[in-house]
Amino acid sequence: GAGVSQTPSNKVTEKGKYVELRCDPISGHTALYWYRQSLGQGPEFLIYFQGTGAADDSGLPNDRFFAVRPEGSVSTLKIQRTERGDSAVYLCASSLGAGVGDTQYFGPGTRLTVL
Amino acid sequence: AQSVTQLDSQVPVFEEAPVELRCNYSSSVSVYLFWYVQYPNQGLQLLLKYLSGSTLVKGINGFEAEFNKSQTSFHLRKPSVHISDTAEYFCASYEGKTGGSYIPTFGRGTSLIVHP
């Protein structure tokens, strides 16, 4: 079956612009996670959804970052007034449930470059 | 806050040699430890996980890891590596939070480079 997909694969934008990154999880997965991976670092948790609601957004760095999952499937990560420090690979993962034993399946990521 | 340390940023090894990738975690009441692999241009993939029970955990592709509570370690091992094992390996610790979520903290990763 299809895995987690993310679009676009690459996004180049200018400082100050608004960007949206999309994640299509595996069908039937109720939990969806967003991570940010900077160069030379491991993934850093941003936010997680259980169904349509954000169950934990403690990793969002500031109020320029926002994510939605209106129908409990596709999710969009939105970044306002982008800064050069936002440049990173943004990863999405989904799992059947949100328990620690539920395997997270990762997408290939969106590489965001802010000029 | 939990933390995960991967002591080696890069590990070069010859094909068919054994390898150990080191991971240490900060002590916590409940410890759930994972290893992920990231092949070039692909997403992270779960290799193995320790939730409870036997401290020796076996995963995919011949990898195994041992949970050592006294040394707060979860080192990854493989007795004989292949060229195809060349990838980035991430250790992660999951912490249970109020509300029932489990949020991971990842190490910085270890690049395993297998030479012919």
Instruction: Please state the CATH superfamily assignment of the domain spanning residues A5-98+106-114 in this structure.
Output: Immunoglobulins (2.60.40.10)
pLDDT tens for B36-72 read 999 988 889 999 999 988 999 999 999 999 999 999 9
| Domain residue ranges of chain A, discontinuous segments joined by + | 5-98+106-114
Share of chain A above pLDDT 90, in %: 87
| pLDDT, average across residues A31-40 | 95
Mark yes or no for CB contact A48/B103 under 8 Å. yes
B105 touches chain A (CB under 8 A): yes
pLDDT score for B31: 82
Calpha distance A105→A87 (Å, rounded): 23
Binding-site residues on chain A for chain B (CB distance < 8 A) = 3-4, 40-45, 48, 50, 55-56, 58-59, 91, 93, 98-101, 103-109
Over residues A19-28, the pLDDT tens digits come to 999 999 999 9
Comparing A33-37, A98-102, B108-112, the range with the smallest average pLDDT is A98-102
Of B90, B101, B105, the CB nearest to A98: B101
The single residue listed with the structure tokens 């806050």 is: B1
CA pair distance A91, A68, nearest whole angstrom: 15
Nearest Cα to Cα of residue B93 among B44, B25, B29: B25
> Are A111 and A37 within 8 A, CB to CB?
no
pLDDT confidence of residue A17? 97
pLDDT above 70 coverage of chain B, percent: 97
Domain encompassing residue B101: 4-115
Rg (CA), chain A: 13
B22 CB within 8 Å of a chain A CB: no
Split into its structural domains, chain B has a count of 1
Contact B101 A93 (CB under 8 A): no
**Residue A110 per-residue DSSP state:** E
Above 60 in pLDDT, residue A1?
A: no
CATH number, domain with residue B38: 2.60.40.10
Mean pLDDT of chain A: 95
Per the prediction, chain B carries an average pLDDT of 92
* pLDDT tops 80 at residue B1: no
Place of tokens 């948790």: A45
Q: Which residue from B minimizes the CA distance to A55?
A: B101
Mean pLDDT along residues A82-99: 95
Per-position b or e across B67-86, b if 16+ CB within 10 A of its CB: beeeebbbbbebeebeeebb
CB-CB under 8 Å, A105 with B43: yes
Give A94's pLDDT tier (boundaries 50, 70, 90): very high
Measured distance CA(B73)–CA(B26) in Å, rounded: 9
**Structure confidence at residue A65 (pLDDT):** 97
Mean pLDDT on B74-102:
91
